[in-house]
């Protein structure tokens, strides 16, 4: 009888210590629906007030193509023969973007196809991911602050840091600040470790 008790205790101990322990995973609250609220466009840390701003279209936040390109120093025009937006910078090979297919090409090579591309009232709106294939431009959508955050490679007069998590901006024109403690600091990194953003201009928007 004693042997049976010892065996039963041994089996119970093995089962207890061999049971996998699952790590506690906290449940995060989903972001609120901000699609009915105003959106913002930041280019190199500066708020763009004129021209087309990001829009929610069919539940997806899309970015105004022309406004962002011109802020980054691109020349943009519409090719009616090819039915495409044509844009280039510093005499480099031009990009072509077809709103009908969402296909972005350069030198006849397909770079990417944007399935979300939309034309609203003469303005072309694209996914933030499209700018991954355009030189000198990076674009991100911050759903927590309803803000499109665009960085370019052209130096500016001021330094800034935009925190995606907090939705806060810090910077002081003419007084460079160290680039530290933020989720994403925009602008071109100089050897000194500081960011020097690019010149800002505003343009009217058309396709």
Q: Which domains does the chain have, with CATH numbers?
A: 40-196 (3.30.457.10)
Specify the pLDDT at position 104.
Answer: 98
* Helix, coil or strand: residue 140: strand
Mean pLDDT of 99-108: 97
57: confidence class by pLDDT, cuts 50, 70, 90: very high
DSSP 122: T
13: confidence class by pLDDT, cuts 50, 70, 90: low
**Dihedral class, residue 58 (left if φ above 0, else alpha if ψ from -120 to 50, else beta):** left
Specify the pLDDT at position 91.
Answer: 87
**Distance between CA atoms of 41 and 64, rounded to whole angstroms?**
9
pTM to 2 decimal places: 0.64
**Distance between CA atoms of 115 and 102, rounded to whole angstroms?**
6
What CA–CA distances, in Å, run from 43 to 117, 159, 192, 198? 21, 12, 22, 8
Which residue in 72, 35, 66, 36 sits closest to 51, CA to CA? 66
How many residues appear in the chain?
A: 207
What sign for the dihedral angle of Cα 176, 178, 190, 66?
Answer: negative
**Distance between CA atoms of 206 and 64, rounded to whole angstroms?**
10
Mean pLDDT of 104-123: 97
Specify the pLDDT at position 84.
Answer: 97
Q: Mention every residue, 6+ apart, whose C-beta is less than 8 A from residue 19.
A: none
Mean pLDDT of 77-86: 96
Specify the pLDDT at position 120.
Answer: 96
Q: Please say if the pLDDT value at position 19 is more than 60.
A: no
């Amino acid at each position: 009888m004693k042997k049976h008790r010892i065996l039963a205790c041994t089996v119970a101990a093995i089962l207890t210590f061999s049971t996998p322990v699952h790590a506690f995973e906290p449940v995060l609250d989903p972001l609120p629906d901000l699609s009915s609220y105003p959106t913002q466009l930041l280019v190199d840390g500066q708020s763009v007030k004129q021209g087309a701003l990001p829009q929610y279209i069919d539940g997806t936040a899309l970015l105004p193509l022309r406004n962002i390109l011109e802020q980054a120093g691109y020349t943009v025009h519409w090719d009616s023969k090819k039915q495409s937006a044509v844009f280039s910078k510093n005499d480099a090979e031009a990009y072509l973007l077809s709103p009908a297919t969402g296909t972005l090409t350069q030198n006849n090579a397909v770079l990417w196809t944007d399935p979300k591309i939309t034309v609203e009232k003469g303005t072309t709106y694209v996914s933030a991911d499209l700018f991954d294939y355009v030189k000198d431009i990076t674009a991100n959508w911050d759903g927590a602050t309803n803000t499109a955050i665009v960085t370019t490679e052209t130096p500016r007069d001021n330094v800034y840091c935009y925190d995606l998590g907090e939705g806060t901006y810090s910077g002081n024109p003419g007084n460079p600040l160290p680039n530290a403690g933020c989720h994403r600091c925009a602008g071109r990194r100089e050897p000194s470790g500081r960011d020097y953003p690019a010149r800002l201009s505003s343009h009217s928007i058309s396709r």
